Amino acid sequence: MVLRDTWRKAYWGKLTLKPIVDWQQKAKTGAVGELEVGWDIGRHWSIWLMLGTRIWGGKVPSTYDQRVGINGAYQF
């Protein structure tokens, strides 16, 4: 599930919920939530900060305790 909003045609925010079901562990569930805020610097360049954390489900593959990322992209 993703919620995204853009303001002033240059800044954006995105909230993502990523639920996981591990069928190898008898359908044990978990989820992580991620918040991204970004800036479209120009026509081709973007940068953003991503913060993520586990919401529930310790020891479920593809979940993590906490995550921080600084990213950039050039779009052709």
Q: pLDDT tens digits for the chain (76 residues)?
A: 888 888 888 999 999 999 999 999 889 999 999 999 999 998 899 999 999 999 998 889 889 999 999 999 999 9
What local confidence, expressed as pLDDT, does residue 38 receive? 96
What local confidence, expressed as pLDDT, does residue 58 receive? 86
What local confidence, expressed as pLDDT, does residue 1 receive? 83
Question: Tokens standing for 18?
Answer: 């990523």
Domain boundaries, given as residue ranges, for the chain:
2-74
Q: Positive or negative, the Cα torsion across 22, 25, 26, 28? A: negative
What local confidence, expressed as pLDDT, does residue 39 receive? 95
Cβ(1)–Cβ(20) below 8 Å: no
What local confidence, expressed as pLDDT, does residue 9 receive? 84
